[in-house]
Structure 1
């Protein structure tokens, strides 16, 4: 396990507590999509922690884009991040394209040094980390 000085922080933007409000998320994870995605993300968080990464989630509310970007930008400014993960619930839904673009623009302007990575679901955040940081995930 990594020491605090060695911990690599990753900001993960996903639907989180707003997943149950999203038709596609509800279709994939059921009516309790928010709870199910949190359960699945917890597995990725545990795997990442064992590899020296700390995943900090930021829930994206597609119905409140201005508030979401404000919260996301504040979080981006709060520390150095080795990466920002954007979940499939945001980038895989054409209705969320504007939000996806705004998240990427915030990353580009606030933390251009951070890698941008993409997970295919809450249970695949660690898969995205392994793909982008193979040297840390032996």
Structure 2
């Protein structure tokens, strides 16, 4: 019998992704990144992962963190994935720290996973859920 599907909360910038002036992403423009993530998440779905998105708005930090806490509490999660856009840009260091704090307080037993870019989600999910 195949393993049951896994529920992954994918925390990222989504529509709030912005590159500061002069910043060159190794992954492309915001539009290219979103396209890569969407394609990768299709592969994740086919591999048995149900991805639920939560978009972090760095310009409304307190509200976005409250919303994340509420989202985490809505159901059981097999893993929480925190996107590279939150982790990899110095301008989002505080957002990353506060995101980790919310996850640690609200879902301390849920594994975290981190991709190495917009096409690395499936590998990250498999590391967090090795039975898949």
TM-score interval for Structure 1 and Structure 2 normalised by the shorter chain: 0.7 to 0.9
Given the alignment, which residue of 8, 11, 18 partners 2:9?
Answer: 11
RMSD (CA atoms): 2.0
Match of 1:45 in 2: 41
Q: Deviations over 1:45-93 (max 9, x none)?
A: 2221122211111111212111211221111111110111111111112
Q: TM-score, normalised by structure 1?
A: 0.82
CA positional deviation for 1:38 = 2.5
- Return the structure number with greater relative CO, CA threshold 8 A, min gap 6: 2
For the pair 1:96 / 2:92, whether they are aligned, the reply is yes
Greater share of residues in helix: 1
Unaligned segments of structure 1, at least 5 residues: none
CA separation in 1, counterparts of 2:19 and 2:53? Answer: 18
Aligned-partner SS, 1:27:
coil
Name the CA distance, whole Å, in 2 between partners of 1:80 and 1:93. Answer: 29
Match of 1:73 in 2: 69
Structure 2's unaligned 5+ residue stretches are: none
TM-score (norm 2): 0.85
